[in-house]
Structure 1
């Protein structure tokens, strides 16, 4: 009730909250169940990254060695954190593995549960054993290796070149649509977005036939800029032919920036 009240105070009515949290997620699950993209490869990468991080081994060591009763902590003893830790970590794993998209940053959601597991272990008079020490060493080596890899092979942000182009060529008051993914391009270029489904999953769920996008491109409110990620359109088997016809009629292809083909409106 408190969460709903806070959301409504910030402009989100309960019906919209229900649609986003329940209705949309159910529809999205159906869409992801028939995913034709590279979700299986991302799932394998997600599980591999989780195992390689050493976190499962560290959590298992804490759980196994922290099975005893917690120690007394003066006149007031804190509640046993194990039930909360198990519940939080289980929920976090379900969110990461059942979400269907399997992006690596989903693993960040496991941190609170892992911290609670460590705190529950600290409530018990258990020495740091060899198994826990080994788990810490593996997790530490994994962290160092990951940081070193990123320093040598920086993460490619395909949207950076598109943002740079829009920063140089867009005028104040311009609008833009990204088809699809990397909605931060519009945000970072400080442009308005007249199309509500910039990320691929909402578009596939709420505008699968792209009728809303086509209607926008035919309207007086059509955006100044349209950025098309062909790989996303093709990966999701979306019929982009009608939208492409509108682009060919009223837009000029001005450049390619990373994975994006950028179009600028020419017709008034």
Structure 2
């Protein structure tokens, strides 16, 4: 039985005649595939983040102004950049370079772990995962942007470990620290870059190898300094925005715990169904088989394996724990496992790295399954009409509204308001914040009963969903102040009774 090398493969120089051309071809395919996702309607989160980003200002009630959102500032900054143009789909275009960064970083990390063959296998898995609609990777969401930072941090950290010169090692480690600390500023639980850096340092410090200990002692301070840079920038922003650390902790961290309790108290069955669906999606896209293959192979590796290989298991365990802690179990959650899965593919698939021919064959079959899963999901996504009621309703509202009109979606699909270019007087654009921070709907009813009540209300779910209006107080208020003027794609649209508008023809659905 072949043995695992004690060290990772030496860094490979990019040969444009061998590695460069297939990699360039793969990146070209990724760009073409991602371009097909650009014109598709924005999803709920994308529209909501754009709506928040367009009105982002200091001095508001919440971190980003008048709307509550529990996402970190770097993600909102990305959407702020996309909002500088009027074309909503610009954020999908902005996602393309992040996906390419993920693929290139995956190739680099795979090369460092498994040589040129490892780089090729890792790049293929990276491209497959980040182009899979079944993982909701066609969306420009926090998981996608954050995964790119994590993958970059991992590639930079492994480059620091293998650097020949002390200066190069410091530069690589500092850059790895920056990328690793930037990832949780996109999505809070994306800490894998920091986990990998910590694993490399601890391995080196505990190792009896003097060279490994020297690497660790050089990497640790440089990575720490690099990690402090995004943190310092975020602190400066909080100070300039007149928002304290307590407010940031409340909205970005403490809220997540409260939201978890709300989700499981009000709709546990829905979360369980989504969790099983998540497992199914992970299997058919090949992501979970890659993870399972790694655990089977890792049990056969010698205990003196390299630090890069030894940390893959820790990254996967952390990723699974972070997914479980999320509570809602939407398809993008699986992208948490993508960086570690790419590393696993790069380490397991090459023949020089896997103990046993049966495991090599199994790992390559799994990688092929990941590619086929992405192709199948892409075909389904391209041929099956997408549910775009949010875009249809938003466009209808845009054609029917007056310039100063405001709106509200009950309960939460901000993409409707973003498409309609219509602000909301109610700060909670998603159902979970509303159920967590306004569980009795006190503020919602006060908004609808007050002088600044929205002109339009779009009903996308039952008014008593989750038993939130079991005493019909909201329903009675709606009937007092509003009337149903249209039903667009099966969803009632209410207009305030003191207003009249020239309604556009209902769109086809």
TM-score band, normalised by shorter chain: 0.7 to 0.9
In 1, the alpha carbon distance for the partners of 2:290 and 2:261 equals 35
Query: Which structure dedicates a bigger proportion of its chain to strand?
Result: 1
Structure 2 match to 1:238 = 468
| 2:212 paired residue number | none
Query: Bigger CA drift: 164-173 or 34-43?
Result: 34-43
Which of 332, 337, 348 pairs up with 1:105?
A: 332
Residues 397, 420 of structure 2: 8 Å contact kept: yes
Between the aligned partners of 1:191 and 1:201, the Cα distance in structure 2 is 21
Task: Return closer, same or farther for 1:14/1:259 CA change in 2, 3 Å cut-off.
Answer: farther
Aligned-partner Cα distance in 2 for 1:95–1:203: 23
Aligned counterparts of 1:222 and 1:186: Cα–Cα separation in 2: 15
Query: Could you state the TM-score of these two structures normalised by the residue count of structure 1?
Result: 0.83
Q: Which runs of 5+ in 1 are unaligned?
A: 71-78
Equivalent residue for 2:193? Answer: none
The one of 278, 288, 296 aligned to 1:56: 288
13, 17, 20: which one aligns with 2:251 = 20
The answer to whether the Cα contact below 8 Å between 2:345 and 2:363 also exists between their aligned partners in 1 is no
Shift of 1:84: 4.6
Distance 1:237 1:102, change over 3 A: same
Q: Provide the C-alpha distance between the structure 2 equivalents of 1:21 and 1:124, rounded to a whole number of angstroms.
A: 44
Equivalenced residue count is 259
CA contact (8 A) 1:62 1:121 kept: yes
Summarize the alignment of residues 40-79 of structure 1 with structure 2, pairs less than 5 Å apart.
40-62=272-294, 64-65=296-297, 67=301
Q: What secondary structure does 1:159 align onto?
A: helix
For 2:400 and 2:240, the matched residues in 1 are separated by: 34
1:114 paired to 2:341 = yes
Is the deviation greater in 120-129 or in 149-158?
Answer: 120-129
Q: 2:409 and 2:275 mapped to 1: Cα distance?
A: 25
Displacement after TM superposition at 1:83 (Å): 4.9
Q: Hey, what does 1:38 align to over in structure 2?
A: 270
Task: Output the TM-score relative to the length of structure 2.
Answer: 0.46
Q: What is the RMSD computed on CA atoms of the aligned residues?
A: 2.8
Structure 1 residue aligned with 2:308, among 77, 81, 84? Answer: 81
Deviation at 1:57, TM superposition (A): 1.9
* Pairing 1:218-237 to 2, within 5 Å after superposition: 218-231=449-462, 233-237=463-467
2:451 is paired with a residue whose SS is coil
| SS of match in other structure, 2:375 | helix
Contact kept in structure 2, 1:254 and 1:264, CA below 8 Å: yes
Q: For the residues of structure 1 that align with 2:240 and 2:484, how far apart are their CA atoms?
A: 39
